[in-house]
Amino acid sequence: MMKKIMVEKIYLMRHGLTESNKKKIYAGGSMEGLCDKGMEELFDVAEKLEGFQIEKIISSPVRRAVQSAVIINSFLNLNIEIDDNFREIEMGPWEGFSEDEVIKEYPEEWKIWNTKPSELRINGRETLAELQFRAVDGIKRLSDKAESFVLLVVTHTAVIRVLYLYYNEMPLDEYRKIDVPNNSIFLLDNKHISQVHLK
């Protein structure tokens, strides 16, 4: 039986825009920061989050996520905790490659990634099952601490997708169908995850 989360609400947010995002490059764990547009957009998001009664911010250790958390916190004035469970998926040899480069260098693997992503196996690259295990473990650890009841986790597309699939009881091969734009926010409650549309 699936364990329910104990905190009242966990909001999952994808970090702001980067140059790699614009160029469809797999940034992975790179030290790339947000682009100017990404920072500007986050100030607007941060202002809208003021009414969400968030009590604590958790961030991936990856620079673009930390920068996003800091901008959000400039409006909320909370504690930011870094949690490695919510870091980006380890891309292995794909890190730094654009999608076009991956298609050229890894045509068979790219086909698997787009049809049966749960079956992709590349040396040095984290599988979706491995990613989902650590992301769910991160959520359970937050629940066990129970220090705050409304949390914001600033993280990455891959992490949000595998959590969405887990808590909505969907197969990992649905991974590529979940749209997670920059700055998008998803709410995880005791039943499932759904996207939150800011007004």
Instruction: Give the pLDDT of residue 147.
Output: 67
Provide the domain limits for residue 102. Answer: 9-196
Model pLDDT, residue 1: 41
**pLDDT grade for 189, boundaries at 50, 70 and 90:** confident
| Domains held by the chain: number | 1
| DSSP element (H, E) containing 153 | strand 150-155
Q: Is pLDDT larger for residue 4 or for residue 40?
A: 40
Q: Is the pLDDT of residue 146 over 70?
A: no
With respect to residue 175, please indicate whether it lies within any of the assigned structural domains: yes
What's the mean pLDDT in 44-62?
94
pLDDT in the model for residue 171: 97
Q: Do 28 and 95 contact (CB within 8 A), yes or no?
A: yes
Residue 34 forms part of a structural domain:
yes
Residues 66 and 60: beta-carbon distance below 8 Å: yes
Residue 75 C-beta-side C-alpha neighbours within 13 Å? 17
Tell me the mean pLDDT in the region 124-144: 94
Note whether residue 147 is domain-resident: yes
Distance CA 2, CA 133 (A): 13
Residue 67 has pLDDT above 70, yes or no: yes
4 inside domain: no
**DSSP states along 155-187:** E-HHHHHHHHHHHTT--GGGGGG----TT-EEE
Residue 122 half-sphere exposure toward CB, CA atoms < 13 A: 21
User: Rounded mean pLDDT of the chain?
Assistant: 93
Domain assignment of residue 62, yes or no: yes
Interhelix angle 157-167/128-145, nearest 10 degrees: 80
pLDDT per residue as tens digits for the range 156-170: 999 999 999 999 999
Does residue 1 belong to any structural domain of this protein?
A: no
Provide the CATH number for the domain around residue 109: 3.40.50.1240
